[in-house]
A and B are shown apart, each in its own frame.
With several copies, the nearest count.
Chain A
């Protein structure tokens, strides 16, 4: 049993923490949010140069990491900095799925991803499938030499910047069958693909996609037709770990801001941190943040293990992060008072970003249901 990071990961952690702390300011974040992609090209390049993108991929895929604790280490720092760059979407979610399904044909793209010159997005969510991974309505019909895609995708994060979109589509079966789901790679400028993009709460950009008779070649199919579900689940498990680690970093940064505030802010003639009622509430928040840290460790340690154990920890960790994230965001705003609600102070951005974690890859209730099915019933 050992809860120390390896030396390599500790070095990555230090370097990344230092880089982000030196680079991200309120001004750079606001500039990023105003840009067409919703993030900073300069920071993206910086992350690539530091090797952070490569740390998300295995050696097979051209990276030098990719394990649970690699993801946890990187994303805790991303969270701590409140960074909005699409490491999760390009690197873990779409990149991970491409690495898993794409075979040799994907090698060149992955190289470009790791080098920081290629952006990806996964288009899976649809207006009515909420967080389900087995519900896909968008259809792909076989044509001579390819497929024709028709349907809608919603809240596709990073679609605005993506060069390629990985689109889940139904090639057979009913809307809720896990069999019959395929993944296609579709260029952002493909005819018939309409992308309506918008900013997201807490940073980044998302988009509504309408695919009207989008024709792709056979080579656009990733992996075996109709058999993408397992890879989709695995990619979401990895993305869930990443976003949970990011949430942990956000909480830890919020913890620091809030304890600082309690120590320095005076009211009724003394630091508000002297008021016992606030002390005890802060203590409860700290207890829960430790729980969140342990939950992230549990998922990281089981990410590449047996899928039953992995799925159990995905559900457990995301449910716990949902509850603790809400507590931390709400209590930190409350303990700050009015200043905690302004966008002029970092807390506002961090709390929004933390809150939005609940809306990706399943919220607390979704994972409560899953956990019950896996471990209680």
Chain B
């Protein structure tokens, strides 16, 4: 048993920290600190900086332009990124599609698409969920019918995050309606500029059009854009979901959020004393901090298992649940901390180009929006109810 990192890992941490100090534009870090929204250009700028250093996709194998990072190195990198308030790497190309193509894609697909992910030519989005399907991903209805060298796609996807920025979408489509629902699904890469595609933003309760509906009306997709085999898409989708669930605990986000909350609670006044001295507020901070200290260690334990080749099973579901509970509690406490200033709702104040003075303290403005936005944490990526079912099936086998 040893709770410390190896000297090599500590060196790596220093290297990452030095890089972030040197290369992370202060403008982007400030946006992170203040909870402002990042524009498409912000993301692209930061991706390019990381890519220059070879760290945009550090977890990819070296042959594809990555660094072949271990789970622990990835954890350290993510921890330092959050600590520095750096923009998170947009996951759709790097973290989701990349590993699928590397494992199941054709040589042509790998050679064409992987460099375009790294150099920013393509912005990918995800076409998994459909209206009325929710957590039941296998109930895909969007159809792809083979017509010569093309598939003709019809149907609708939803909850497509940042779809408004994307030029490419990877989709689960139904290529066979017989047999088990899982057995007729294929994995298709689709150019968003193809005629017949419409993107409609969905405004969420934080006021942001973060997600979208994507409609397909007789969209012709080259058959060469099929990944792997027809009707085997469910296998690739599950593989992708496993990869999506690295950093599932969100330890870094929680730690940064907790520090931010404490700094707010030191500034806010409650009956003439700092709010953090209110014993009931302090108690809630303490409980979530104690939970986070334990969860951070659970996260390292799972990473360490992964490093020694054991596939995480129910553990990553446990991390998903506890991680989202902790982050949502921190978000709720942050909303409570800002008091009456949680009420003003000026969503443009979180955008570029807004020059007004903040309403109340600058930390207050995003508190409510962040609280509402992060209700998604326990819904997406396999809702916490799905995770509980996974855990109980794994343990009870019933």
Contacts and interface: CB of A to CB of B under 8 A. Distances in A.
Contacts of A198: 344-346, 359
A2 B2 contact: yes
Contacts of A1: 2-6, 9, 72, 300, 303-304
Contact of B204 (A6, A342, A365): A342
A109 B397 CA distance: 51
Given A268-B136, A279-B389, A280-B389, A341 B204 contact: yes
A12 to B, nearest CB: 13
B127 to A, nearest CB: 15
A362 B32 CA distance: 30
Given A368-B280, A376-B289, A290 B318 contact: yes
B379 A334 contact: yes
A337 B1 contact: no
Interface residues of A, number: 96
Interface in A316-352: 316, 319-320, 323, 326, 330, 333-334, 337-338, 340-344, 348, 351-352
A297 to B, nearest CB: 6
Interface string B354-398: 000001100000001001100110111001110111011101111
Interface string B324-357: 0000100010011001111111100000000000
Given A6-B1, A359-B340, A283 B392 contact: yes
B392 A282 contact: yes
B311 interface: no
Given A279-B392, A290-B298, A356-B342, A266 B132 contact: yes
B242 interface: no
Interface in B150-208: 158-159, 202-205, 207
Contact of A127 (B3, B303, B360, B371): B360
A331 B345 CA distance: 23
A15 interface: no
A206 B343 contact: yes
Nearest to A298: B297
Nearest to A69: B1
Contact of B398 (A9, A125, A263, A293): A263
A6 B175 CA distance: 53
B268 A372 contact: no
A34 interface: no
B318 A287 contact: yes
Main secondary structure of the interface of B (DSSP, over half): helix
Contacts of A17: none
A294 interface: yes
A2 B304 contact: yes
B263 to A, nearest CB: 12
A177 B396 CA distance: 53
> Which A-B residue pairs are the 8 nearest by beta carbons?
A279-B392, A294-B297, A201-B345, A283-B388, A301-B3, A283-B391, A294-B294, A348-B205
Interface of A: 1-6, 9, 69, 125, 127-132, 135, 154-155, 157, 175-176, 196, 198-202, 206, 208, 259, 262-263, 265-268, 271, 273-280, 282-284, 286-287, 290-295, 297-298, 300-302, 313, 316, 319-320, 323, 326, 330, 333-334, 337-338, 340-344, 348, 351-352, 355-356, 358-360, 363-366, 368-369, 371-372, 375-377
Given A155-B343, A196-B359, A278-B385, 6 more contacts: A1-B6, A267-B133, A280-B389, A316-B293, A348-B205, A365-B278
9 contacts: A1-B4, A155-B360, A201-B342, A208-B359, A279-B389, A283-B387, A323-B287, A338-B376, A376-B262
